[in-house]
Amino acid sequence: NLAAGRWGGIEFVGPVAPNQPSMLQHCIITEANNSGVRILDNDQVSLEACRIHNNTSALDGGGLRVELSAGTVRIAACDIENNRAARHGGGVRSTTTSSGRLILANCRIQ
């Protein structure tokens, strides 16, 4: 109910068993107040051809926040625009450690 305020965004939390992937394709994620998409230690997530815009975060990653300690998350052909964060990464904030990797392929971040 956007008339009552913003919603909490989409969160993918791991760890997740292998071969149980989540994928968002051709979606619009907008007006969230806790990052548009949060991917937290879940390498079974991919986004493709999505539009993530006009989201906010009181912390980091207004549009997309990824925290990953192992595995690879792939984001492809997404438009991430006009997002805001109070601290770091208005568009994208990625924190990877150990063997974690975030791949942004053919994305537009503005």
pLDDT tens per residue, range 33-57: 999 999 999 999 999 999 999 999 9
pLDDT tens per residue, range 61-105: 999 999 999 999 999 999 999 999 999 999 999 999 889 999 999
At residue 17, the pLDDT reads 84
At residue 4, the pLDDT reads 55
pTM for this model (two decimals)? 0.91
Mean pLDDT of 15-26: 90
- Can you say how many angstroms the Cα of residue 1 is from the centroid of all Cα atoms in its chain? 21
